[in-house]
Structure 1
Amino acid sequence: MFEDITPEALAAEVLFLRAQAPESSIVLLEGDSDVRLFQSLLDVDIGNLVNCFGKENVLRTIDLIDQGGVLAIVDADFAAILKTGYTSQNIVQSDFHDFEVVLFNSGALDRLLTEDGSREKIRAVQKTKSVRELLINSCLHLGCLRLYSQTSGSDLKFKGLRYRFFGRKLKVDPDEIVKEVFDHSLKHTGHDEAKAFIKNFSFSTVDPNQLVCGHDLIAALGVALQSLIGSRNAAHCAVPELESKLRLGFAREDFAKTRTYADIVAWEQRNPPFRVLH
């Protein structure tokens, strides 16, 4: 099935949708979670939210059909750190590394912690740092390893990680991160180069929210809710469940504060009569 989802097939779907409703906006998204997030934030018929099953498909489809009324919304990934961008004005991206990091930095996290966290444990953590700082700090080295994988062409595998290196207290050892990721990737060489990249990386020169991956942050949140900031059962701290709660807690008022929202407003002004916002 997925082999049939090519940029050419997606472009044909977009042209079909355009023929059916010439003045309706069409939004290209990376995956299921993005469709679930934006269907409540945008004033676009669910049928016009096109799941492209990956960022590369989104970008290649826009290359094929770069016209008014077709908007692509993508994760920024490492764009801010690598100083990369897009020539098309029909592409907008997340404020931070991905939209999960945007949710994490919004009131959605505070609402989740009110429901699932322990007030006493959170207060104890906050004597030294905020919950956000605790979680972000636990994911910095892993984010750096993701950056290393991308820039070095190492093709490390992160999907399906068990995150054993977190431990109950989220005190991570960079060497343990490298070992788990390389073992998960079935790679037996390159450990030293990856460790050196992390050791020599200037963490103080980048915005942590551009370096960490939202999926990793939410995995760390799940660990913390079981011990450091809560007493939840592991079964209720799975990443998909927590991601769903953050999406549900992300209000339109939160979205309106983002740069993505401002960029969409600017896109609408350039593309009358097409609208995607309420």
Structure 2
Amino acid sequence: MYERFIDDRKCEFSIASGKENAVSAIRILEQDNFAGVLAIVDADFCRLEGSLPSSSNLLLTDEHDLEMMLIKSLALDKLLSERGSEYKINKFGQDIRLTLLERGTRIGYLRWVSWKANISLKFEGLSFSKFIDKSTLVIDTGQLIKTVKDNSRKSGLKEQDIQKSIETLEKTAPDSWQLCCGHDIICILSIGLSKVWGSWNTNEVKPDTLERELRLAYEDSYFHSTQLYQLIQQWEINNKPYQVLSPGN
């Protein structure tokens, strides 16, 4: 999505295919005194861990990842106005964005535990229906842990120990926008639009489809209001004559 805001006449845009690749590239280029290079990566748990980048050429997303920036913006409201059922949303009677955040923290804590303990839990390809109530979107934490453990083929892990680790992290009361993974939130949104907030067939509101629609709904003005945008502007000031943003941005 970033390429929409970049002046391709003055800035060459490359996808690093992974955060570690981007960080490594910046490190190598800085060692070689290569000027005018900038990388943008997902914050992930950096802010929660207090491990912010030391390089001024490495910027983080405002929230946990780019998808969370989309969810926080009015792009979500635009999607809901198109995809959601006004009757069902009114009947639900709760703020959908806050509901998504609250549900998503269950998975966010487990991801954080995996990251901190370096136990490499596998979240790709999860069947959310195994641990989420489609009528309320409430997540069964115990079933979530079991599902992820099975998906990761980590039979030696003790679910009780993981639960205790989650409870320890809960006491820190982290910022949900830094904790939740955007992909998880969009998966929950997908389930919600098939029953709680809409009546779509699950194939019509697949997570990949919704993510694409959120990106399309994300307006330039939303990006202009982010800290990331301001940091890119400051980078341009500090690194003249190099330019990243297009004139319209």
TM-score bracket for this pair, using the shorter chain length = over 0.9
Quick one: distance in 2 between partners of 1:132 and 1:38?
Answer: 23
Structure 1 residue 177 corresponds to structure 2 residue 144: yes
For the 8 Å contact 2:88–2:198, the answer to whether it is kept is yes
Structure 1 residue 115 corresponds to structure 2 residue 115: no
Distance 1:258 1:203, change over 3 A: farther
Q: In the alignment, which of 238, 242, 245 is matched to residue 274 of structure 1? A: 242
Residue in 2 that maps onto 1:225: 193
1:235-250 matched pairs, under 5 angstroms = 235-250=203-218
User: Which residue type is aligned with residue 147 of structure 1?
Assistant: W
User: Which residue type is aligned with residue 261 of structure 1?
Assistant: Y
Residue in 2 that maps onto 1:4: none
1:1-278 matched pairs, under 5 angstroms = 37-44=1-8, 48-66=12-30, 67-125=34-92, 127=93, 129-164=94-129, 165-168=131-134, 169-190=136-157, 191-202=159-170, 205-278=173-246
Task: Provide the secondary structure at the position in 1 that maps to 2:119.
Answer: coil
Q: Using CA pairs below 8 Å that are at least 6 residues apart, which structure has the higher relative contact order?
A: 2
Alpha-carbon distance, 1:192 to partner: 1.8
In percent, how many aligned pairs have the same letter?
A: 34
For the 8 Å contact 1:39–1:46, the answer to whether it is kept is no
User: Which residue type is aligned with residue 271 of structure 1?
Assistant: N
Quick one: distance in 1 between partners of 2:87 and 2:227?
Answer: 34
TM-score using structure 2 length: 0.92
Quick one: distance in 1 between partners of 2:172 and 2:164?
Answer: 17
For the 8 Å contact 1:111–1:249, the answer to whether it is kept is yes
5+ long unaligned stretches in structure 2? none
5+ long unaligned stretches in structure 1? 1-36
| CA RMSD of superposed structures (Å) | 1.5
Alpha-carbon distance, 1:70 to partner: 0.8
Alpha-carbon distance, 1:167 to partner: 2.7
Runs of 4 or more, structure 1, over 6 Å off, are none
Structure 1 residues 146-191: Cα deviation after superposition (integer angstroms, max 9, x where no partner): 0000100111011111212123121111101100000000011222
User: Which residue type is aligned with residue 266 of structure 1?
Assistant: Q
Q: How many residues align?
A: 240
Task: Provide the secondary structure at the position in 2 that maps to 1:73.
Answer: strand
